[in-house]
Structure 1
Amino acid sequence: MRLAERMSRLGTETAFEVLARAKALEAQGREIIHLEIGEPDFDTPAHIKAAAVRALDEGWTHYTPAAGIPALREAIADYIRRTRGIPVGPEHVVVVPGGKPIMFFAILALVEEGDEVIYPNPGFPIYESMIRFVGARPVPLRLRMENEFRVDVEELARLITPRTRMLILNSPANPTGGVLTREDLEAIAELCLKHDLVVLSDEIYSRILYEGEHISIASFPGMLERTIILDGFSKTYAMTGWRLGYGVMPEPLAEAVTRLMINSNSCTAAFTQIAGIAALTGPQDDVDRMVAAFRERREVMVEGLNRLPGFRCLKPKGAFYAFPNIEGTGMSSRELASYLLEEAGVAVLSGTAFGEYGEGFLRLSFANSIENIQKALERIEKALQRLPIRAAAS
């Protein structure tokens, strides 16, 4: 069967490929410590699961409006009003099965073939994949360790051309853990207004923040009308498998995205939407405990990585990933990630899984127990000691 040419432009998410390799090794009897996959290791809070069970018993097993159940859209709008300080209503909200559809639908609805989209690199790989898929030109915006993986606004300004249609932001960021400051966002907003750019603001990690408060670019003057906020339940409420996300956007775009939902998914599962209402309106203690645990693990992970020969790691300000520089080992990112899986039994991701500017880095998730993190660090240290020709490079 001959595939359409556009399929050759579609990328993938390496985390799932590494997970499959790790599972294959486990099937052979190997013990693998999983630091590759980007999901909380906590269970979904009990009151959210209970709400879903009740919903099933009450018959929430049928179609819903394509944009989402009105009560959930109102709960999301209320949450966004409180946390971002912006005036939005349910008419601005579209509920979708996970966060990725908002990336796909926003790019599909707004970006023409031949347009340019600026995206963070290293960054979530699906950004570039979707840009290429629609026939647009992806323009990588390099995030540098020496700048705490924040956007260099002067460099961003140089990348903007008359064909630039959209800018993608991610703060707190995957894979770097970087967080944009208020000053960063204010300067970026000025550029977007000057050049008439639309912003896709991926804020899926907005609640997993270790210092300060989350600031959305949509809260700056003139930006609400040109920003799509992407958020969801996967990370904050440990609901990755529930597939429940949403976008908050100008009403005309919400209507267009709803049409894309009608043409693709029809709607998001009804009972999961009821669970989403319980998540937003119920107790938040489990979220607070999870973030506190991530903060403690972050300390163990970063301190341990900085003791390894050839490793240099900043302390991430958000999300649950460490993104150490490993150039001192003398190995490429892909070589070292493969070596650690095969020789140390530790599954991590090559920085190049997140774009060309991820070379020289690894991503390690600290969504695992402190015991396993410490064990992984010990294994990595021993594995590095078995690389005699690399020691001098550190």
Structure 2
Amino acid sequence: MRFASVTDRLAGLGSDKWAVHIRAREMKRAGHEIIELTIGEPDIPTPTDMIDVAERAMRSGRTGYSNGRGEPAVLAALSAKYTARTGRQIEADNIMCFPGTQTALSLVMLGLAEEGDEIITGDPLYATYDGVVRATGATRVSVPLRPEKGFRMQAADLEKVITPKAKVLLLNTPHNPTGAVLSEQEVAEIGEVCRKHNLWIVSDEVYELLIFDGKFASPLDRPELAERTIAVASISKSHAAPGFRSGWCVGPKEFTKRLLPLSESMLFGVQPFIADMTAYALGQPSAAAATMRKSYLRRAQLISERLDGIAGIISKVPQAGMFILADIRATGLSGDDFAMRLLEEEFVAVMPGESFGKNLSGYLRLSLSVADDKIDAACAGIVRLASRLQQRKSA
């Protein structure tokens, strides 16, 4: 039988990048006690007041069909949020609602790029970006995010990779997996390159409220970039509600008008009771984000104290997000090999840097959404393995 070419383009992506995480879950089911630092899932429950709103909405009958753009209440809440943030009027026609940021990214990219186009991303990059790009038929082109620049994209590095085929820059700030936060000047300089070469900017801003050091800056907030920028985000991280799958995009009215039929052909709306909960959540400061910022920063500092400078490991506190990197290249192993040995020998599960691009080879990504005592124990396991490897290299 014959299959669509998209299935070939996406072969080897998706769950293949999460081999260590999947193996860790298998070991847990077999009875092993695994310290799991692989995925970025908030370790605090979804706030009860948000759940109460969703429950009341369901019981009041808000369980029917929605429309393709989004429920009026959540569109109004998003309009208020982005109008206040950008300083210009953002209307319902600028917004579309989706089941989470991943869906928003996928549909936005399908509306912008196709075979023959190039989509530019940073490298390192979030593990699903390869699939998002390949699904469109476009080719992904990498901009190296350099450690000496704090893994923040530099405009000069971006300009070097642009060709006549370039169509879209997929930007991510705050950045996963590195935790880097672009400054206002860096965003302005990147935006100027995009204006010069007539590129769209898709800005993944899901970690906007989880910044430890620095100020959030978005190309959407700059008037000169407004007509070429589409921002995507959700309540998954900011409000500790990943399972509710509530996200959105904000961009030019002409873009959302063109994207609407594509979205409707796939989704035709999100759940009204979740939209009501989202509207409520967006109408006030996120207590969940404040709690997570405090605990994630403390844990990042703990990991850095336990690992940085030990057995050749380098691990610096990130600017934002739910993860911290550990450079284990001094051990002589790849991130893939170190992570799998760490799991099998120390029962600690982390993500290898190779899952996030070739420029993170020899790194590990550790989740901060795990209790302090488990993080401490995980660090001890990492040090033990790194020390054994260092001893063998010396011998």
TM tier relative to shorter chain: over 0.9
Structure 2 stretches lacking a partner, 5+ long = none
| Aligned: 1:374 with 2:376 | yes
| Separation (CA, whole Å) in 2 of partners of 1:95 and 1:232 | 9
| Aligned: 1:196 with 2:198 | yes
CA separation of 1:242 and 1:16: change in aligned 2, threshold 3 A: farther
| Separation (CA, whole Å) in 2 of partners of 1:283 and 1:251 | 27
| Separation (CA, whole Å) in 2 of partners of 1:116 and 1:388 | 42
| Superposed counterparts of 1:156-305, under 5 Å | 156-282=158-284, 284-305=286-307
CA separation of 1:56 and 1:17: change in aligned 2, threshold 3 A: farther
Deviates more, 1:140-149 or 1:78-87: 78-87
Deviates more, 1:114-123 or 1:284-293: 284-293
SS of equivalent residue, structure 2 residue 365: strand
SS of equivalent residue, structure 2 residue 111: helix
Structure 1 stretches lacking a partner, 5+ long = none
| Separation (CA, whole Å) in 2 of partners of 1:278 and 1:69 | 12
CA separation of 1:3 and 1:27: change in aligned 2, threshold 3 A: same
Residues 211 and 319, structure 2, Cα contact 8 Å, conserved in 1? yes
Residues 28 and 34, structure 2, Cα contact 8 Å, conserved in 1? yes
Residues 13 and 126, structure 1, Cα contact 8 Å, conserved in 2? no
| Separation (CA, whole Å) in 1 of partners of 2:306 and 2:179 | 17
Q: CA deviation at 1:26?
A: 0.9
Amino acid of the residue matched to residue 183 of structure 2?
A: T
Residues 238 and 288, structure 2, Cα contact 8 Å, conserved in 1? no
| 1:225-273 C-alpha deviation (Å, 9 max, x unpaired) | 1000011100011111111110001111112222222111121122111
| Separation (CA, whole Å) in 1 of partners of 2:390 and 2:206 | 42
Aligned to 1:64: 66
Aligned to 1:8: 8
| Separation (CA, whole Å) in 2 of partners of 1:37 and 1:259 | 33
| Superposed counterparts of 1:134-153, under 5 Å | 134-153=136-155
Q: CA deviation at 1:13?
A: 4.8
Q: CA deviation at 1:5?
A: 2.3
Instruction: Decide which of 1, 18, 21 is 2:20's aligned counterpart.
Output: 18
Q: CA deviation at 1:331?
A: 0.4
SS of equivalent residue, structure 1 residue 66: coil
Amino acid of the residue matched to residue 181 of structure 2?
A: V
CA separation of 1:165 and 1:300: change in aligned 2, threshold 3 A: same
Q: CA deviation at 1:391?
A: 4.8
| 1:156-187 C-alpha deviation (Å, 9 max, x unpaired) | 11111111111011010000001111111111
Percent of pairs with identical residues: 33
SS of equivalent residue, structure 2 residue 224: coil
**Alpha-carbon RMSD:** 1.7
Aligned to 2:314: 312
Q: CA deviation at 1:101?
A: 1.5
| Superposed counterparts of 1:355-394, under 5 Å | 355-387=357-389, 390-392=392-394
SS of equivalent residue, structure 2 residue 326: coil
Aligned to 1:81: 83
Residues 172 and 180, structure 1, Cα contact 8 Å, conserved in 2? yes
| Separation (CA, whole Å) in 2 of partners of 1:382 and 1:35 | 17
Amino acid of the residue matched to residue 139 of structure 2?
A: R
| Separation (CA, whole Å) in 2 of partners of 1:14 and 1:375 | 27
Question: How many pairs does the alignment contain?
Answer: 393
With normalisation by structure 2, the TM-score equals 0.95
| Separation (CA, whole Å) in 2 of partners of 1:269 and 1:358 | 38
Q: CA deviation at 1:385?
A: 3.2
SS of equivalent residue, structure 2 residue 78: helix
Residues 55 and 274, structure 1, Cα contact 8 Å, conserved in 2? yes
CA separation of 1:59 and 1:15: change in aligned 2, threshold 3 A: farther
Q: CA deviation at 1:112?
A: 2.5
CA separation of 1:21 and 1:85: change in aligned 2, threshold 3 A: farther
| Separation (CA, whole Å) in 2 of partners of 1:155 and 1:380 | 34
Residues 66 and 270, structure 2, Cα contact 8 Å, conserved in 1? yes
With normalisation by structure 1, the TM-score equals 0.96
CA separation of 1:302 and 1:52: change in aligned 2, threshold 3 A: same
| Aligned: 1:101 with 2:103 | yes
Amino acid of the residue matched to residue 244 of structure 1?
A: S
Q: CA deviation at 1:6?
A: 1.8
Amino acid of the residue matched to residue 81 of structure 2?
A: Y
| Separation (CA, whole Å) in 2 of partners of 1:58 and 1:308 | 57
